[in-house]
């Protein structure tokens, strides 16, 4: 197994973790919307989900970059 294979598999793992985080955020926000909360409570829930959403998106992008680097460098 070469370093490029490790880059590809590591990137795939990071992308998968980021995707799981994004899916969790979708379900979290959908659950908050179905709960019929007041507008202020809904805003608080959305604010608490935002950092995880952005972090998950960042993780997915870094993973995809590693995959691209692992494919194109050898």
Question: What are the domain boundaries of the chain?
Answer: 3-72
* Residue 64: predicted pLDDT: 96
Instruction: Give the global pTM.
Output: 0.86
When pLDDT is cut at 50, 70 and 90, the band that residue 37 belongs to is confident
Whether 24 shows a pLDDT value over 90: the answer reads yes
Whether 36 shows a pLDDT value over 90: the answer reads no
* Residue 74: predicted pLDDT: 78
Number of H helices, E strands in the chain: 2, 0
When pLDDT is cut at 50, 70 and 90, the band that residue 51 belongs to is very high
CA–CA dist 63, 43 (Å, integer): 30
């Amino acid at each position: 197994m070469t370093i490029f294979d490790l880059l590809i598999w590591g990137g795939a793992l990071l992308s998968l973790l980021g995707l799981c985080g994004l899916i969790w955020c979708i379900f979290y926000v959908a659950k908050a919307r179905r709960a019929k909360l007041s507008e202020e409570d809904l805003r608080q829930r959305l604010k608490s989900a935002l950092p995880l959403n952005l972090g998950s998106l960042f993780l997915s992008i870094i993973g995809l970059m590693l995959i691209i680097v692992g494919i194109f460098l050898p």
